[in-house]
Amino acid sequence: MPAGSLFFVIILSSSIVPSYAEVIPITISGTMNKVSFDGKWSFYTEWKESTLTQIDTGAEPIYLRTAHQDDYIYVLIDAVEDTHFVKGSDSAIVCIDGNTDKEKIPNSDDYCFIATLGDKNPVTLQGGSPLGINGNFRKIPNPVDFIGISSVSDQNDRYTTIPHASYEFRIPINLFGRSDVYGFYTSVYFGHANKFYSFPSTSSPSSLFEMPPPTTWGELVSPDKSLPEFSWPTILLLSGVLFVIYFTKMRSGHLHLRTNGN
């Protein structure tokens, strides 16, 4: 493995961000395209190359892992404390403010994604609805290539082999465009305890569909400015074009000097 890649892996796998910080650093990963989207840890290193944030539950934390690669943002919510399953009730929601405009009322660049244990049909919500009863969000068709799924993690889990609820999301970036900063909110519902645990921790909804206003959301921040990334073919093409321009200018300048010097 190249030294640069090894450095990235070390930074990603060792980065632990407490939820009270309200900012989650998210950087590029090289392994998210290897994730098996089945709603759980499929193998021990599956989500290793991602940022780790811990959400306090008063007992074992919820392990929130985030990363981005190519055209997607990836989110794993590992609710190790939720060991009493209520299918159709245990749920997780992930919300993203595409413009980070922190509006009090959600608008069309605000999206929320819901996965429920035992339900193969995730839900996508978009802001901009005039109906305040739904928090100004409305249900829309799931985006192409979006994945939201929940299952039970067990022997392959990185934190515990005790069966517990977990959630995986793959969110297309083209919904809201590339940016170095997004507004971010997530909440996990433990059906058996009728409790919500959220990031930021200052948010305490009474139902999964009661999203706090974007003004109170935290942030996903790309500290290395890698989120507006280019694909490798694009990078190679740009590098080639720049090299040709540089070589042409150098050659032109050399000929100009020779002409002046006879």
Range of the structural domain that residue 134 is part of: 3-229
Residues 197 and 254 occupy one common structural domain: no
Per-residue pLDDT at 210:
81
**Rounded-to-integer distance, Cα 168 and Cα 252, Å:** 55
**Local structure of 114: helix, strand or coil:** strand
Per-residue pLDDT at 13:
40
Q: Is residue 180 scored above 50 in pLDDT? A: yes
Residues 161 and 259 occupy one common structural domain: no
Residues 121 and 251 occupy one common structural domain: no
Residue 4: band (very low, low, confident or very high) from pLDDT cuts 50, 70, 90: very low
Per-residue pLDDT at 17:
47
Q: Is residue 14 scored above 90 in pLDDT? A: no
- Percent share of the chain, pLDDT over 70: 76
Per-residue pLDDT at 29:
92
Question: Which stretches does DSSP call E strand in 180-239?
Answer: 181-190, 195-199, 218-221
The total number of structural domains in the chain stands at 2
- The two structure tokens encoding residue 230: 């280019």
CATH of the domain at 85: 2.60.40.1190
Residues 221 and 253 occupy one common structural domain: no
Residues 60 and 174 occupy one common structural domain: yes
For the beta carbon of residue 162, count every other beta carbon within 10 angstroms: 13
Residues 147 and 249 occupy one common structural domain: no
Residue 251: band (very low, low, confident or very high) from pLDDT cuts 50, 70, 90: low
Per-residue pLDDT at 225:
67
Residues 250 and 196 occupy one common structural domain: no
* pLDDT mean across residues, the chain: 82
Q: Is residue 248 scored above 60 in pLDDT? A: no
The model carries a pTM of 0.79
Question: Which stretches does DSSP call E strand in the chain?
Answer: 16-18, 23-25, 51-55, 62-69, 72-79, 91-97, 110-116, 123-127, 137-140, 147-153, 164-172, 181-190, 195-199, 218-221
Q: Residues 229-243: pLDDT tens digits?
A: 444 344 344 445 445
Residue 103: band (very low, low, confident or very high) from pLDDT cuts 50, 70, 90: confident
Burial of 1 (0-12, 13-18, 19+ CB in 10 A): exposed
With b meaning 16 or more CB within 10 Å and e meaning fewer, what string describes 190-226? bbeeeebbbbbeebebeebbebbbbebbbbbbbeeeb
Residues 169 and 259 occupy one common structural domain: no
Residues 191 and 248 occupy one common structural domain: no
Residues 207 and 252 occupy one common structural domain: no
Residues 101, 106, 111, 113, CA torsion sign: positive
Residues 79 and 209 occupy one common structural domain: yes
Residues 244 and 176 occupy one common structural domain: no
